[in-house]
Amino acid sequence: MKSLHTRIILLGAVLVILAAILGITSRPAIAGNGPSIQSPTELADQGLESIVLFSQLQAQTLPPPANQDPCLHCHIRGEETGLWTPLTRWIVFGTAGLVFVFGLVRTTSALKTRRSWKPIPKRFSAWLEERYEYQEPLAKVLEKPVPDWQRRWWYCLGGLTFFFFFVQGVTGIMLAFYYKPTPEAAYASIQFIESQVYFGRAIRMMHHWSANGMVVMCFAHMLRVFIMGAYKKPRELNWVSGVTLFIMTLAFGFTGYLLPWDQRAFWATTVGSEIAGGIPVIGNLALIFLRVGWDISSLTLSRFYALHVLIIPLITVAMMLAHFIMVRRQGIMKPL
């Protein structure tokens, strides 16, 4: 009992000492002989300071705002920062995911069937062959031996012309996404393509130089055919289709020259249409057809655009198919 009483007395003494210490430290500061009394204005200032300090501490402890998707910036806000980040992410991780899934499917199929894996192109080819039986007639066209004398570079001029036409088609479709065929917006759209669109200037230059290359290669191909006498019987229609394709190539260049709608394009089209107007008998008709009137206007630009992207390409593709079929059937004429 004595030990219990002693412990209680000691605990009480400790509590009294702690209370005394807390009371001393919590007493207001003494200035002079008496306690300092603060005015209501000072108390209000201290309240404002504490509110400001609390708001600053709260702003520091808040998490930073989340980063927005660059794709949303591009399509909604019109910003152009970090546009390649999501595309690169999708390409890298999407490719890795496809490779993983393909490997998993291939391994599972080999374990399940106990057979070697059949490549997907062969599976698709067998699926088409079962339904359309296309391999036999296609083999007659493709599996044709090429003599050594046909492997010289001057026999490749026609193929180079077709290659430049293919480049023209691909780059022209890319440019058509941004080009506006109106007098008010045509030149501005060209400037937008060259200054704002990614790789826009490069694509436009590819379109420009492939057009020049197509004209040069087409002319060189026709010159080679003429020198070697490949226009004679039984290849008369080959020559006719080739001349038509050369005219279509020149028409491509003439109609496309007006589309930028600058001073050079305007006056070059003026001179070219006046040359067409000098044709005997049908000159005025040709001039009015090209200009959609006597003067170059917005209707002229619309007509040239329609001819450049619709009419002339359709005629060119049809004549190319006929030309290729005739060349394939008759073969290339042997050297003189």
pLDDT (mean) for 321-335: 86
319, 240 Cβ separation under 8 angstroms:
no
123 shares a domain with 64: no
- Report yes or no on 73 lying in a domain: yes
- Mean per-residue pLDDT over the chain, rounded: 82
Out of 23-27, 113-117, 183-187, the most confident range is: 183-187
167 shares a domain with 36: no
Residue 158 CB partners (closer than 8 Å, separation 6+):
221, 327
Residue 167 CA to its chain's centroid (Å): 15
252 shares a domain with 163: yes
- Report yes or no on 17 lying in a domain: yes
Domain termination residue (choose one: 90, 125, 144): 144
- Report yes or no on 335 lying in a domain: no
User: What integer pLDDT is reported at residue 161 of this predicted model?
Assistant: 96
- The token duo for 61 is 């402890």
pLDDT (mean) for 114-137: 88
> What is each CA distance from 117 to 49, 98, 106, 111, 112, in whole angstroms?
76, 17, 7, 10, 11
184 shares a domain with 321: yes
Residue 120 belongs to domain spanning: 115-144
Residue 229: which CATH number?
Answer: 1.20.810.10
210, 231 Cβ separation under 8 angstroms:
no
- Report yes or no on 150 lying in a domain: no
108 shares a domain with 194: no
231, 332 Cβ separation under 8 angstroms:
no
79 shares a domain with 26: yes
Q: DSSP letters along 220-237, please?
A: HHHHHHHHTTTTSTT-HH
Residue 241 CB partners (closer than 8 Å, separation 6+):
319, 322, 323, 326
303 shares a domain with 187: yes
Identify which has the larger pLDDT, 24 or 309. 309
Identify which has the larger pLDDT, 168 or 334. 168
Q: How far is residue 65's CA from residue 86's CA, in Å, rounded to a whole number?
A: 19
- Report yes or no on 84 lying in a domain: yes
105 shares a domain with 240: no
Identify which has the larger pLDDT, 87 or 167. 167
288 shares a domain with 167: yes
User: What integer pLDDT is reported at residue 30 of this predicted model?
Assistant: 43
Is a pLDDT exceeding 80 seen at residue 195?
A: yes
164 shares a domain with 102: no
166 shares a domain with 287: yes
User: What integer pLDDT is reported at residue 70 of this predicted model?
Assistant: 54
Each residue of 297-322: pLDDT tens digit? 999 999 999 999 999 999 999 999 99
Q: Give, as one character, the DSSP assignment of residue 297.
A: -
Q: DSSP letters along 32-69, please?
A: TTEE----HHHHHHHHHHHHHHHHHHHHHHSPPPPPPP
Q: What is the largest CA-CA distance in the chain?
A: 141
Name the pLDDT band for 35 (thresholds 50, 70, 90).
Answer: very low
Is a pLDDT exceeding 70 seen at residue 336?
A: no
Each residue of 130-154: pLDDT tens digit? 999 888 888 877 777 778 888 888 9
User: What integer pLDDT is reported at residue 136 of this predicted model?
Assistant: 87
Is a pLDDT exceeding 60 seen at residue 4?
A: no
- Report yes or no on 260 lying in a domain: yes
100 shares a domain with 135: no
pLDDT (mean) for 224-235: 90
Domains of the chain: total: 3
Domain termination residue (choose one: 63, 94, 114): 114
User: What integer pLDDT is reported at residue 47 of this predicted model?
Assistant: 54
Identify which has the larger pLDDT, 109 or 95. 95
